[in-house]
Chains A and B, each alone.
Chain A
Amino acid sequence: MTDKVDIAALAKLARLDIPEDEMARLETEIPAILHFVETIQSANAPKEEKSPAHRNIMRKDENPIESGKHTKALLDAAPARAGNRIAVKQVISRKK
């Protein structure tokens, strides 16, 4: 069921540029990996998922930290900043 995989489309979904010379290798490797994992199709597992045994337990939203306490450390890690904010390139452009 996965002889042909559109690697370029996957890469776009994953926000990952793939150099031309790597594309051919991935077009062999990714279907080979998917073919390997397809053996689970023969497992007789119930279609409906049971609630998984692993659960997240959220801590109470209490004792908030003092505002600004970690601001410097976190901003220092960012590649670009403008004042007390992380700077990013424009997200939405008017140009078509």
Chain B
Amino acid sequence: MDLSTLTITEARRALDAKEYSALDLTNAYLDAIEKKNGEIHAYLEVWADSAREEAKAADAVIAAGKSQPLTGIPIAVKDNILIEGRIASAASKILENYKASYDATVISKLKAQGVVFLGRTNMDEFALGSSTENSAYGPTKNPHDTSRVPGGTSGGSAAAVAAGMALAALGSDTGGSIRQPAAFCGIAGLKPTYGAVSRSGLIAAASSLDQIGTLGKNVEDAKILFDAVRGHDAMDSTSLPDANIPPKAGRKAIGVPREFLTDLTPEIRAQFESTLDTLKNKGYTIVDVALPSLQYALAVYYIINPAEVSTNLARLDGIRYGLSVPADVIGEVYSKTRAAGFGPETRRRVLVGTFVLSSGYADAYYRKARSVRELIRADFAKAFETVDAIVMPTTPSPAFKLGEKNSDPVSLYLEDIFTVPVNLAGVPAISVPGGTVERDGKKLPVGFQIIGAWGGEQTIFAIGKDV
């Protein structure tokens, strides 16, 4: 088997045909991790022993002829998704030794299919960042050029799949955290409709934006993993009733918000236009759409995100779990623990969030941002009256160098310009490989982003397969 090209579909066929066993497959991935993880640093922890046991159990199920789509398939899990008895640290020092007391709903669903869990992957601390450089455990490197970032915050998951260290992976996407690393690493990454996949057992960053999603080598793999984890869950109060809207027959209109696509590097623009031509040749109609409120999306996002982050992270206080720094009075236990446990970007978000929610400023910042968010949502709703999908590049430029954007937080925020509108509106989107651009003699992948209407995952999968 060639792990650099293997897909879930092919592995399923070979496993069921007994060409190799799930244990062989898992051992092949563990070998690849052994060889490559030292340089790439995609995994924070590898569960070799339990992975082999899970693979043996999967082989028994396969031998009995009872395999499901993911039986024996080795995957990686982002470090903010809980697996009972396993450490889940969200790449933070404050949860360095925290062991999950229950399984996330997505994990229960994958366990029921006999999935093999290879390990937990690196990320930006608490899913705050765009490069995986904010991990408390050191950055992940891009497999296409190890002097560059893999994107973030699910950078470990994307790098693991791209480097053949996992067949597929789970991630989470709050403002682009699946799609942007998928784009930088040359794979497919899906952010489902808000509420389509349960978030029970996901360490919360910004609750009105967070969504668990999937990463795979191609659209089909991302879809197979999504089909396994989606569905209504009473344990998540924002979970949607099960919906799986089939693509509309006959209508193949794709919208391009050209007014919004001003700050693109020329090669990314060229690749984007070339992908549009491919779609045109396959019978799609390309039309302009207006999304005038998207100009405010980044500003809205960087108010709502810190506000919710500062609220969610209030639970990390050194009392119930995680790091606890001793002090004489309880107030100092809180403030010293949080100072010792949170990294620089987490501290910045907590402070900004506290500011925009504070009395005297909440109207001008937080409430205003919520109002403008509704305008953005309305823009999408209006556009989807006439088009089946909206497309844009996933990022304005290819993977940047490690350390390049460390000195100025705002310059890193600008990387998220094309991904955050999707989370603000709650619609689904997938980033698919959309060509490469050359930097320093190396070919760097770029992403083509396809955005669907609410519940429109099947439509964006269909278009993604035509790219």
User: Within the complex, which residue of A13, A78, A89 is in contact with B354, where a contact is CB–CB below 8 Å?
Assistant: A13
Which B residues are in CB contact (< 8 Å) with A10?
Answer: 351, 354-355, 358
B377 & A40 in contact (Cβ 8 Å cutoff) = no
User: Within the complex, which residue of A38, A50, A78 is in contact with B319, where a contact is CB–CB below 8 Å?
Assistant: A78
User: Within the complex, which residue of B298, B327, B368, B372 is in contact with A89, where a contact is CB–CB below 8 Å?
Assistant: B327
- Does A46 lie at the interface of the complex (its beta carbon under 8 Å from any beta carbon of B)? yes
- Does B330 lie at the interface of the complex (its beta carbon under 8 Å from any beta carbon of A)? yes
**A17-B338, A33-B348, A43-B296 known; A54-B375 Cβ under 8 A:** no
Which A residues are in CB contact (< 8 Å) with B302?
Answer: 33, 36-37
Q: How far is the CB of A53 from chain B (nearest CB, A)?
A: 6
Interface size on A, residues (CB 8 A): 53
Which A residues are in CB contact (< 8 Å) with B184?
Answer: none
**Interface membership of chain A positions 30-65, coded 1 if the CB is closer than 8 angstroms to chain B and 0 otherwise:** 101110111111010111011011111111000000
A5 to B352, CA, bound (A): 10
A59 & B234 in contact (Cβ 8 Å cutoff) = yes
Q: How far is the CB of A12 from chain B (nearest CB, A)?
A: 8
A70 to B100, CA, bound (A): 12
A34 to B335, CA, bound (A): 23
- Does A24 lie at the interface of the complex (its beta carbon under 8 Å from any beta carbon of B)? no
B348 & A56 in contact (Cβ 8 Å cutoff) = no
Which B residues are in CB contact (< 8 Å) with A77?
Answer: 98-99, 101, 320-322
Q: How far is the CB of A7 from chain B (nearest CB, A)?
A: 7
Please report the number of residue pairs spanning A and B whose Cβ atoms sit closer than 8 angstroms.
161
B355 & A30 in contact (Cβ 8 Å cutoff) = yes
At the interface, is chain A mostly helix, strand, loop or mixed? loop
- Does A83 lie at the interface of the complex (its beta carbon under 8 Å from any beta carbon of B)? no
Which B residues are in CB contact (< 8 Å) with A39?
Answer: 295-296, 299
A56 & B238 in contact (Cβ 8 Å cutoff) = yes
Q: How far is the CB of A89 from chain B (nearest CB, A)?
A: 4
Which A residues are in CB contact (< 8 Å) with B344?
Answer: 22
- Does A68 lie at the interface of the complex (its beta carbon under 8 Å from any beta carbon of B)? no
A34 to B303, CA, bound (A): 8
Which B residues are in CB contact (< 8 Å) with A53?
Answer: 374, 377, 426
- Does B106 lie at the interface of the complex (its beta carbon under 8 Å from any beta carbon of A)? no
Which B residues are in CB contact (< 8 Å) with A47?
Answer: 371
- Does B389 lie at the interface of the complex (its beta carbon under 8 Å from any beta carbon of A)? no
**Interface membership of chain A positions 17-35, coded 1 if the CB is closer than 8 angstroms to chain B and 0 otherwise:** 1110010001001101110
- Does A82 lie at the interface of the complex (its beta carbon under 8 Å from any beta carbon of B)? no
Which B residues are in CB contact (< 8 Å) with A43?
Answer: 293, 296, 368, 371-372, 375
Q: How far is the CB of B125 from chain A (nearest CB, A)?
A: 14
- Does B401 lie at the interface of the complex (its beta carbon under 8 Å from any beta carbon of A)? no
Interface residues of B in 296-312 (CB under 8 A from A): 296, 298-300, 302-303, 310
**A43-B293, A53-B377, A77-B321 known; A38-B371 Cβ under 8 A:** no
Interface residues of B in 321-341 (CB under 8 A from A): 321-324, 327-331, 333-336, 338-339
Q: How far is the CB of A74 from chain B (nearest CB, A)?
A: 6
Q: How far is the CB of A26 from chain B (nearest CB, A)?
A: 7
A88 to B320, CA, bound (A): 9
Q: A26-B351, A54-B194 are in contact. List 20 more A-B contacts (CB 8 A).
A: A14-B353, A15-B335, A17-B339, A26-B347, A33-B409, A34-B355, A36-B302, A37-B365, A40-B303, A43-B368, A46-B371, A52-B370, A54-B208, A54-B238, A55-B238, A57-B239, A70-B101, A77-B320, A88-B330, A90-B330
9 residue pairs of the A-B complex, CB under 8 angstroms, read: A15-B331, A17-B339, A32-B409, A34-B355, A56-B237, A79-B322, A79-B323, A89-B328, A91-B330
Interface residues of A (CB under 8 A from B): 1, 5, 7, 10-11, 13-19, 22, 26, 29-30, 32-34, 36-41, 43, 45-47, 49-50, 52-59, 70, 73-74, 76-80, 86, 88-91, 93
